[in-house]
Amino acid sequence: MNKDLISNDIQLDSSGKLIHLLGLEGLSKNHLTHILDVADGLLDAQGNLKKSKALDDMSVANLFFESSTRTRNTFEIAGKRTSANIINVDLANSATKKNESLLDTIHTLKAMQIDMFVIRHKQSGLPHHVAENIDGVSILNAGDGINAHPTQALLDMLTIRQHKQSFEDLSIAIVGDITHSRVAHSDIQALKTLGASDIRLIAPAGLQCDSKQCATIKCFDNIEEGIKNCDVVMVLRLQKERMLEADIPNEQEYFDNYGLTPERLALAKSDAIVMHPGPINRGVEIDSSVANGKQSVILQQVSNGIAVRMAVMEILAGNS
């Protein structure tokens, strides 16, 4: 599916209410802020998750066509903490392995009284295609190809807001495989919508975004230059499974040139936070001492992922 043809207009009903979460393009600052506010309300003063009855008597099906640990588990926990009935579809033995189309599988599951589908797929635009061809259920995009990962971006925004309060005066560096990262694409969109004006993309030429994007965002091929005086440093995983063999950098060379080390982090502001969507490749994208250091908020991102996914489910269910 051509990424340029993917439309997020179907996410909202005629009154502007969110009925699907497929991507962040087309959503207003108010939409994003509302999700973050609901997520914040699901955390107590110590950052512990609350429980909710918002999805009581509702059923949520997880369809993960790509392997996942953090996203799948946090969606499952989020569903359970909102009192939903969770169905993890066994895709290895499902009808889609017997040549049934995905849409037929979705319609069959809907007939089993499923209210919400969480979908991760290697094909960009697949969740959008499902949403366009089924009524009466909500579709949540848990990552599609290199297109979008909206809940990851939202949990990133929640984490930034918890530490920095406002986005307007922040300098944010995103370091790594920009080209193949759906996380980067959604983070950039979220940061723009929330008012960040100093977004810096740091990557080698083969992994940098296209020239059109670089015309509106600062792009660097030198990490020392790009990271200087930043408030937030977001490190990306090398997306080897989405790269051609010729595009995969030598890991040691990549770390030597783009790995986040204590020396490089020292170029950012002293109170800068370090983020990573996981899983972490230690010694490739980030030094272990940085990943485990006092400026790292990586584990907080994981906890916030549950709160954000609970919030999105509650909003799609019409209960927040």
Least confident span in 70-79, 166-175, 203-212, 305-314: 203-212
Q: Which amino acid, one-letter code, is at 122?
A: K
Q: Residue 110: how many CB atoms within 10 A of its CB?
A: 16
Q: How far apart are CA 19 and CA 318, in angstroms?
A: 9
Q: Where are the domains of the chain?
A: 3-148+302-316, 150-298
pLDDT band (50, 70, 90) for residue 317: very high
pLDDT value, residue 153: 98
pLDDT band (50, 70, 90) for residue 40: very high
pLDDT value, residue 269: 97
pLDDT value, residue 138: 96
Contact 233, 159 (CB under 8 A): no
Peptide bond into 277 cis (omega under 30): no
Res 1 pLDDT > 60: no
Q: How far apart are CA 308 and CA 291, in angstroms?
A: 23
Contact 15, 45 (CB under 8 A): no
pLDDT band (50, 70, 90) for residue 299: very high
pTM for this entry: 0.93
Burial of 9: CB neighbours in 10 Å, binned 0-12, 13-18, 19+ = exposed
pLDDT digits (tens, 9 = 90+) for 143-196: 999 999 999 999 999 999 999 999 999 999 999 989 889 999 999 999 999 999
pLDDT value, residue 6: 60
pLDDT value, residue 272: 98
The superfamily in CATH containing domain 3-148+302-316 is Aspartate/ornithine carbamoyltransferase (3.40.50.1370)
Average pLDDT rounded to a whole number, residues 13-40 = 95
pLDDT value, residue 5: 43
Least confident span in 160-164, 223-227, 279-283: 279-283
CATH topology of domain 150-298: Rossmann fold (3.40.50)
Res 226 pLDDT > 70: yes
Res 104 pLDDT > 80: yes
Burial of 266: CB neighbours in 10 Å, binned 0-12, 13-18, 19+ = exposed
pLDDT value, residue 242: 47
Q: What is the mean pLDDT of the chain?
A: 90
pLDDT digits (tens, 9 = 90+) for 45-86: 888 899 999 999 899 999 998 888 889 999 999 999 999 999
pLDDT value, residue 4: 45
Q: Residue 89: how many CB atoms within 10 A of its CB?
A: 21
pLDDT value, residue 45: 85
